[in-house]
Structures are given as structure tokens and as C-alpha cells.
Homo-oligomer: A and B are copies of this chain.
Amino acid sequence: MKTSQDLTASLKRAATAIEATIAALLPDVTGDEQILIDAMRYASLNGGKRLRGYLATEVASIFHAESRGALRVAASVEMLHAYSLVHDDLPSMDDDDLRRGQPSTHRKFDEAIAILAGDALQTKAFEILASAETHPDPAIQVRLVAALAEASGAAGMVGGQVVDIRGEGRNLPIDQVRRLHAMKTGALIRYAAVSGAILGGADSRERAMIDAYGRDLGTAFQVADDVLDSTATEAELGKTAGKDAASGKSTYVALLGIEGAKAEAARLAESAVASLSIFGERADALRALARYVVERRN
């Protein structure tokens, strides 16, 4: 894995396998709740890049974890991510009618079904982890559950969403912007990396290195996202450009300038790569991913 073409192909292969896993985890039912399953599928099988799931499976493969369990962990983190997007898009939150060019879940169905589909996707993400089909050892299962809960709850993703809402229209200092993003988007990306290490039975030193990689990758991802939001076209993004700045959110670009933010993203990607040295060439895909994250155009 040396070229970005290799990475693109690898991402695409992983996305296909992860989506098949998600689909198998959301089978049809015979009752009136079928519409809930439809909405859960609509929200979680919408053609995302599956960066979080890819990260989980690639880290897991470094530790020779079983691919079936790794795909379940990947499906779980993607369902958790999908739930957060469904709720973020609601009228009382970001009020987004579109998600990846398609009607957002509450526009395709309705608000009540969207709220409940998000709720059930969160539940499903935990249910998948707490299963012998993910890993035969309950100690591993429960470590995954605890790590996902920490990353996605009040101290992580959801807490970050609240900090973001409360910060709208205020000029947050850089340390608060960093904290906001470390919670809102960083925690789940960091978890995705660590989940692969937990699943693969990494020792504490290995896990710490993967954790450092995930932390820097998550921040790099967000800084690059702010750069994209202010430089890419809407056609490239598949969503409204410049929206964060327009809604009065403090961005890295506002604080560092475009060139400063680009340099910060590149620095973070190299810091992420530096944490991988102990893994040798087994981590080449993760190195390529770190560089891809800051060079992507969408």
C-alpha cells in the first residue's frame, strides 16, 4: 500500500464488506416496526466512506484479529456514527434536509421515526459488541462496550455536540475549539482505532500507540474538514459549503487561516504516522489513511 489509488481501492473494498455486515445485522421483521428497520437501514447504508469502520478493520488486521469480528466492530461504529448524523440533521439541531445528496432520514420518513431509528441504531451498536460473534472472550466484548460508551456519551461525541451548539455565535479560543472537536468528532475516530486494538488483544504499549494515532488522525480529519468547508465546491463536498462559518461556528480556518490550518492538518497527519513506527510495514495502510485524510477533496 503505497499509492493513494491503493488506498481508494482498499477503502472501497472495506466499505462493501462493512455495508454487507450492516445489512445482515438489520434483517426484515414481520410487524409494524418494519418501517423502523427501513429507516435504520436508510440511515446506515447511505454510501459513506466508512472511514471509522475501515480504521477499525485495518487496526484489527495489524493484530491478526478474525475478520468476521472486525467487520462487526466496524459495522457497530458505523451504526453509532449514523445515529449521530440522523439526530444532528433533525430540525431542532442542524436542520439539514440533505445528507450525501439524499433526503436526510427525517425528510425521507418523519421526525418521530428518525429519532427512534437513531435511538435503535445506538442500541444496536452496543448489542453487536456484547456478543460472542464479535469475540469469544467476554472481557474483550465488555472493553469494547465501555470504550464505545465513553467515546460517544456525555464526555465524548454527544457532549461535544452540546459544546458545539452552545458555542455558536461566540468566538471560541483555540483550546476550546480543540476540545470541542476532540469530543465531537475526535472521540469516535479515536475509538474506532482503539477498537481494533482491543479486538486484536493489543498489549498496553501497542494500544497506547494506536490511541495516539487515532487521536491525531481524528484532529487532522476535523482540521482538514474545516479547510474543505471553506475551499471545496459544493459539488466536491456533496453538501452545502461554508455552512459552519455561516452558522457562526468557530473553525480552525477562522482561527489559523487556510494556510495555517492546512499546515496544522499536515503536521497532525505526520504525528499520527510517527505513532505507527513500532508496527513496521503492517501499518502501511494506516499511514496512507492519515495522509489521505488531509489530502482528500471530499
Contact = CB atoms under 8 A, between A and B. Distances in A.
Interface residues of A, number: 56
A163 interface: yes
Given A31-B163, A113-B162, A161-B116, A124 B154 contact: yes
A146 B119 contact: no
A167 interface: yes
A31 B160 CA distance: 10
A2 interface: no
B138 A116 contact: no
Interface stretch (A66-74, A87-95, A210-218, A290-298): A87-95
Contact of A87 (B40, B115, B145, B146): B115
Interface string A96-131: 000000000000001111011011101110110111
A13 interface: no
B142 A32 contact: no
A37 to B, nearest CB: 6
A243 interface: no
A284 interface: no
Interface in A158-194: 158-163, 165-167, 176, 179, 183
A60 B111 CA distance: 39
Interface centre among A33, A116, A166 (most CB of B within 10 A): A33
**Top 7 closest pairs, chain A to chain B, by CB:** A127-B149, A92-B111, A123-B153, A33-B159, A130-B145, A138-B139, A138-B138
